[in-house]
Amino acid sequence: MTPTMTPRQQQTLLLFWHAWFGGGYLVTYLTADEDTYGMHLFAGYAVLAAVIVRVLVGLIAPNSKLLKLPQPKLGGLSDWFRSGKGRHPFFSWFAATLLIVIGAAAATGALSDSLMTWLEDPHEAISEASLWVIFAHIAFVTFMYGGKKFIRQAVTKLADRLPFTHA
Amino acid sequence: MLKKMLIHGLIAAAVIGGAAAVYASGRGDGYAMDDAAPTMRVDQANPETANNGYIAKDAGSRSFWRGHDDDHEREHEYGERSEHDRKQGERDDD
């Protein structure tokens, strides 16, 4: 797959997948009510399909920088906090955690619908937990790509307005 | 970039949500009702005529124009009523 795809195409594919995954999760979470069970089922299977596709693509293209599966390492985490250089390891940690948690939520949901109804409670618990992982992921990414700059500007503006900072 | 990803996600949500709504409407949303027990009293009394809760178009005419076999029954009902009225000294047009 990867030899025929340019990095730009791979990025487009990844963005498309991200939209599919995120949009599907949003619909699934918002329709997690008995009245909208049919929609919940459909969107949940869409999320499960997205997870399966992502894992398959990652296995097919293990050498692609963009499409390979995230491989978080504890060593990388400690190295980054010591040196502060390179890509933040939380990106891969969040990616792997989200794939596992949302994949588990989708898989337990699919199984509890037909084969193992006792998985209904674990499915709900994992789904609730997944929402907080997503919030943390959004907060982290927003901070990394815009939040740091925004906070720096806000602190500078605030410092300029304080009377005691002007001698 | 983040804004773009957010918009893409919302568009995907709209597409998946629309498809899910179509699927749900075809399926009959809510839990499967194949083995559900009738909840309306009329359904419980007459499982064969269990309906969706709406009054049927022929509901009025059916109750008014009962078949020939029921005529004697109706006369009997009126007869009983007349007898009852006589005893009680009541009239319908009071």
Contact A42 B19 (CB under 8 A): yes
- HEC string of A53-86? HHHHHHHHCCCCCCCCCCCCCHHHHHHHHHHCCC
User: What DSSP state is assigned to residue B93?
Assistant: T
Which residues of chain A does B30 touch, with a Cβ-Cβ cutoff of 8 Å? 34-35, 37-38
Contact B2 A141 (CB under 8 A): yes
Low-confidence ranges of chain A (pLDDT < 50): none
The pLDDT, as a whole number, for residue A43 is 93
**ipTM of the prediction:** 0.72
The pLDDT, as a whole number, for residue A165 is 65
Closest-CA residue to B17 (of A29, A101, A134): A29
Which residue does chain B place closest to A25, by CA atoms? Answer: B13
Query: Of B2, B8, B24, which has the smallest distance from its Cβ to A142's Cβ?
Result: B2
The set of residues, in sequence order, having a beta carbon less than 8 Å from that of B29 and lying 6+ positions away, is A35, A36, A37, A38, A39
Which residue does chain B place closest to A143, by CA atoms? Answer: B2
Which residues of chain B does A42 touch, with a Cβ-Cβ cutoff of 8 Å? 16, 19-20, 23-24
Contact A141 B24 (CB under 8 A): no
pLDDT band at B87 (very low <50, low <70, confident <90, very high): low
User: What DSSP state is assigned to residue B8?
Assistant: H
Which residue does chain B place closest to A22, by CA atoms? Answer: B9
Q: pLDDT per residue over B30-80, tens digit each?
A: 555 555 555 555 555 555 555 555 665 655 555 454 555 555 555 555 555
CA torsion B5-B9-B10-B16 (nearest 10°) is 160
Contact A24 B16 (CB under 8 A): yes
Tell me the two tokens of residue B31: 């839990």
User: What DSSP state is assigned to residue B39?
Assistant: -
- Which of A146-155, B8-17, B24-33 holds the top average pLDDT? B8-17
- To test the contact with chain B by mutation, choose from A27, A33, A48, A145 the residue with the greatest count of B C-beta atoms within 10 A, namely A27
First and final CA of chain B: distance in angstroms? Answer: 84
Closest-CA residue to B11 (of A121, A54, A26, A12): A26
Closest-CA residue to A93 (of A61, A68, A71, A64): A71
Nearest CA distance, A159 vs chain B (angstrom): 28
Is the pTM here over 0.80, yes or no?
A: no
